[in-house]
Structure 1
Amino acid sequence: MNTADLGLPVDVPSTALFTDQYELTMLQAALKAGTAERRSVFEVFTRRLPEGRRYGVVAGTGRVLDAVENFRFDAGVLGFLRERQIVDEATLDWLAGYRFTGDVLGYPEGEVYFPGSPIMRVEGSFAECVLLETVILSILNHDSAIAAAASRMSSAAGSRPLIEMGARRTHELSAVAAARAAYVGGFTTTSDLAAGFRYGIPTVGTSAHAFTLLHDTERDAFRAQVDALGRGTTLLVDTYDVAEAVRTAVEVAGPELGAVRIDSGDLLLVAHRVRQQLDELGATDTKIVVTSDLDEYAIASLAAAPVDAYGVGTQLVTGSGHPTASMVYKLVARAESDDPRAPLVPVAKKSSGGKTSIGGRKWAARRLDEDGIAEAEVVGTGPVPAELAGRQLQVELVKGGEVLAREPLDVVRDRHIAARAGLPLSATQLSRGEPVLPTEYVQVPSGN
């Protein structure tokens, strides 16, 4: 795969340096100690959802698969590590042949999750798995945070479409990932052409205030835009006086005008006035698009307004106040020796301060009530209870180093819509509350 498909600059040959130094120093120490090849199980999970959130959204899985596949230590990367004396020559020799040959299971992208959900499980030797920690967390934490915000906004918007337009409010590479995650969460289009190019997301965009200000009059600006883009274009009507702009827009484009965009003011009040004015001018099919620093609460407040679409930027690409999903990547089981047949022993951090974890390789299933609505997230070790066998959430993503689960983004988006619809109705409430599903643990004391 070309690195451009990953949202990387074309001169970056791999994802191997998207990592923290201590991953490599741990590797060096484990190689020297003879423990690097012990079979190990790492899991990605979060101990809690962002305050007040009812559910999380798994996003970025497809990008994780690309990153794992492109995790290679080529000559340039090895030269950098040697020059900085990050690790010794024996470790560099090991890294030169690095290819992930293990297995990855996880919740399919677009699925919802809750505290303790084993969102992703990475199995292989300690050496090959530990190197992937940082890049996996970097992708999942960012993309899942954006997708969760997008999902809340999508729920608040109902059937009205949402436009992702946050590229100018974040890092240029983050903007591409954010547009992808927003699409997973329910947005319909993006203004970011790189996202459209890399991921096939529909793109939209017409003009900004600068285009109106460029021309001698607002009428001249509207005429130029309609001449270039057709009567179905969207005209920005709040550069000067909104009422005058709407009148001019209809005079220039006729009742066939596609839409007007409002980017400032009391959006609820202005939208009602603009709708009335458009109808009086005969432009009854002209849509109203609103922007102006919207979040899910602002969108919900406009539910009764005659708005046809929303454009969201800053609040979306910053996770609407929660820019990370706080996921962690923890060793939960390891073999007693480097013998491939050695049994796995559950391990877990037991320190105080709210950072404890549960050892053992885990499965996850979602229990439904008699109406088919989810009522609990069940996480366990050992055998899966028969009544939950058909409700398991994890799927194979990578087997023996081979990627199995690449999917079209529309499939992922549809999965999220279905997963959200399967939650209790209170999941869509924007008021602060506890996770909509409790996480129940089923533990078997023996190793797994």
Structure 2
Amino acid sequence: MRAFFVHQNFPGQYRHVAPALAARPGTQVIALGENAGDPLPGVQHLRYQPPTAAGEKTHRYLRRLEAALFRGQQVARAALALKERGFAPDIVCCHPGWGEGLFLRDVWPEAKLLYYYEYYYTSTGGDVGFDPPGPVAIDDAARVRTLNANHLLCLQASDWGHTATRWQASRFPDWARAKLSVVHEGIDTEAIRRLPDPSLTLPDGRTLRRGDEVVTFIGRGLEPYRGFHMFMRALPLILEQRPAAQVVVVGGDDPHYGSKPREGGTWREVMLAELGERLDLSRVHFIGKVPHAQLQAVLGLSAAHVYLTYPFVLSWSMLEAMANECVVIGSATPPVQEVIEDGKNGLLVDFFAPGQLAATVSKVLASPASYVPLRAAARRTVVERYDLRSRCLPELLGLIEDVAAGRRPRLGGSLERMATEPDGPPA
């Protein structure tokens, strides 16, 4: 088999499945991305030139689509260069979110296309109109509808698609879900587990160890989409109620999903200005982005881990926290509710209720022994439903095999799978 993987930030969601496929005898794997990425065994990683920026005169509804078209052209040029050298893939696995998948059908008409679809935008029921809650203006609704133009073109071109969670699948139109499988990329629970003796040395020289009252929060970007503002508003009360508590915040200042504050600066600066002297900064530690190994140490220390999100794509970090046997206090929003059952394998709070969040965190810190069964249940959930080696990787490899062979995937479409599995579709 010859396989071609495409992702702007390769390896992205293909980190495990691409080398696993490459390890099979007789399989050639080539990957294409804009950025350098991490080298993977057996995978030839090529790069395409960054596209031209969208023009300033372009209608604002179309700027993202125009950027996707430029990117799609760059990927098509790189693919044509491979074609001229004799490479003809049996299957193309592509994350088309930035436009990479737009023209691959035209380069290789005979190849099977399996695309990873992450999120379908609507003006109700998702991230738009959530914070602040309320009706969405027609101008925003029209803009959001146009955001799906790239995905709609790719859905028409691809043979099959997959997405990570049932709630994400539920966002797509019925006709699209009929050829969309639900397969998570997987959590390596053999590697991601509670460390025996974790520690973290803070910039001021203090060292945190397990048993300390450590509250953790993780986000690639410290931004409203991941509830950073609500978490910050809960901190003064947490620190007041728990005098020994220390707070560790992991993440960068640049937003990854939302916009920057209208008033300028970063969301961290905005929240620090809002809270002022109410926040004891000697006990709140912003450590920025950290290597994955250090992230596991942070989670291993956690006495209470906070994960808040808009109705949007579920973060890997929440599942990794659960695999680390953290007590996760999550927002009662659909992506989280698909995984966490309140009081069974985690705790749920209202996204917009910092007081409730503070009270729940304080309760967990006050009685750590009470939550030992919940910690175990959190890890069990991830092992049973999202484990890389026993479940997700075999499912992804099987999906690739089926699509490459022209078979209807064994996993079926997401509607079919949701209806037949015992826990049913998302609420």
TM interval, short-chain normalised:
under 0.3
TM-score w.r.t. structure 1 length?
Answer: 0.26
Bigger radius of gyration among the two: 1
- Higher relative contact order structure (alpha carbons within 8 Å, sequence separation ≥ 6): 1
